[in-house]
Structure 1
Amino acid sequence: MLDASRIPALLITLGLLAACTSHAENEGLAATTSSGEAYAQGVPGSVVSETEQISAVVKAVDQKKRTFTLEDEQGNRQTFNAVPEMRNFSQLKVGDHVNAVVTHERVIELRAPGKAAEDGAAGLVATAPEGDKPGMLVANTVEITAVVKAIDTTQHTATLQFADGTRKVVRVRPDIELKSSYLNQEVVIRMTSALAISVEAP
């Protein structure tokens, strides 16, 4: 029913990208991005996915400060702080190749009448076995619900009200017929982010 690209991220990366925080004065690494959207014509709801891939080489490691500097193929450099969850940091060496993949998925659907709400969050952290090159997988899922409070057939928009009372007007896909039966129905917004980091020796 809703254009997922207009739904705010709403905590989607909180705690996720904190796994490796970077110093703001760095240039930032180049990333390869891809995205896609899937939906059934005329059916409310959609799935939107976005993926970023970063490949770089370790140029410096400070074991005491637990920091490391990466450089991509374009020569951009960025320094990161390794959090305690990044086990085996001592195994990281200059010249190692680091691959990182960040995936975001947003699923939006109308909740079936009578189905219980599941607002909340779930997370997963997995690290490399002791003695291996450092690596980790962090995943976070947040589900929130909103209620359709108004429909504007002229502007082809819907007004959603969230649990905290805030409202947001969102555009509805052109192929969706705005029906009065959608009023007061719940819209489920489920957002999942995953960060996978792997390290390979040169």
Structure 2
Amino acid sequence: MKRVSLVVLSCLAISASAYSADPETDVSIVRNPDGATVQGVAKVTATIVGIDPATRTVTLKTRAGKVMELEVTNEARNFDQLAIGDVVNAQYRESLTLSLLDKKTQPSRSESDTSERAPAGAKPGGEMGREVTIIADVIAVDPHKKIVTLRGPRGETVDLHVQDPERLKRVKKGDQVKAVYTEAFAISVEPAMTK
């Protein structure tokens, strides 16, 4: 997958530190008659407290006081636009939608990627994402353990825990499930507030 280096490095640096830096998180579950979607969002905001142009390293401090360093590769545009006091916003979103299919089809897997980076002259930033769609066969249903076992297009199996007994009653061996997993990571930089 083509990835924008600033975004990838930022994702690794911020997400690795973010969970210990108390990110704002939001999780929701949406149910419909044919399936369900689980969505989650984690956000981290940090202020630039140091910049080393020689090593292209930026030191960030989160609202929780966590300090982390981020190396920005040469592929990232607009490094010279960064300034002490600029605010870096990072957001990670992911969702998983599962639904029963009406018609039987061949198990399959497809994936698409997206990436975008800030235009020349703007503050650094960008977004990357991917979507994976899988059609899988239901090979077993265990109503006592509330588990549905799926076999994907490559022969791999996965057990899904289904908490809702009414939904579990609708699933039987031989059914097919469509799973759509999406994830996106965005990072933006806002100018320092002038006093």
Root-mean-square deviation over aligned CA pairs: 2.8
Distance in 2 (alpha carbons) for counterparts of 1:105 and 1:26: 22
The equivalent position to 1:198 in structure 2, one of 188, 191, 195, is: 188
Relative to structure 1, is the Cα distance of residues 136 and 76 closer, same or farther in structure 2, using a 3 angstrom cutoff?
Answer: same
The alignment partner of 2:174 has SS state of coil
State the shift of 1:95 in Å: 1.1
Q: Which residue of 2 aligns with 1:135?
A: 125
Seq. identity, %: 26
State the shift of 1:118 in Å: 5.4
1:187 and 2:138 matched = no
Task: Give the TM-score normalised by structure 2.
Answer: 0.82
Relative to structure 1, is the Cα distance of residues 179 and 54 closer, same or farther in structure 2, using a 3 angstrom cutoff?
Answer: closer
1:171 and 2:150 matched = no
Relative to structure 1, is the Cα distance of residues 69 and 50 closer, same or farther in structure 2, using a 3 angstrom cutoff?
Answer: same
Q: Which runs of 5+ in 2 are unaligned?
A: none
State the shift of 1:60 in Å: 1.4
Relative to structure 1, is the Cα distance of residues 179 and 155 closer, same or farther in structure 2, using a 3 angstrom cutoff?
Answer: same
Distance in 2 (alpha carbons) for counterparts of 1:16 and 1:147: 39
Q: Which amino acid in 2 is paired with 1:33? A: T
Relative to structure 1, is the Cα distance of residues 157 and 51 closer, same or farther in structure 2, using a 3 angstrom cutoff?
Answer: same
Tell me if the contact between 1:35 and 1:50 (Cα under 8 Å) persists in the aligned partners: yes
Q: Which residue of 1 aligns with 2:44?
A: 54
Q: Which runs of 5+ in 1 are unaligned?
A: 1-14
Distance in 2 (alpha carbons) for counterparts of 1:74 and 1:179: 46
Tell me if the contact between 2:115 and 2:129 (Cα under 8 Å) persists in the aligned partners: yes
Q: Which amino acid in 2 is paired with 1:131? A: G
Distance in 2 (alpha carbons) for counterparts of 1:137 and 1:103: 11
Distance in 2 (alpha carbons) for counterparts of 1:116 and 1:19: 38
Tell me if the contact between 2:41 and 2:93 (Cα under 8 Å) persists in the aligned partners: yes
State the shift of 1:83 in Å: 4.1
Task: Give the TM-score normalised by structure 1.
Answer: 0.79
State the shift of 1:32 in Å: 0.5
Relative to structure 1, is the Cα distance of residues 25 and 177 closer, same or farther in structure 2, using a 3 angstrom cutoff?
Answer: closer
Distance in 2 (alpha carbons) for counterparts of 1:16 and 1:36: 29
State the shift of 1:97 in Å: 0.8
The alignment partner of 2:134 has SS state of strand
The runs of 4+ residues in structure 1 deviating greater than 6 Å are: 23-27
Q: Which residue of 2 aligns with 1:121?
A: 111
- When the two structures are aligned, how many residues end up with a matched partner? 185
Distance in 1 (alpha carbons) for counterparts of 2:68 and 2:95: 26
Relative to structure 1, is the Cα distance of residues 177 and 169 closer, same or farther in structure 2, using a 3 angstrom cutoff?
Answer: closer
> Which structure has greater helix proportion?
2
Q: Which amino acid in 2 is paired with 1:57? A: T
Q: Which residue of 1 aligns with 2:30?
A: 38
State the shift of 1:185 in Å: 2.1
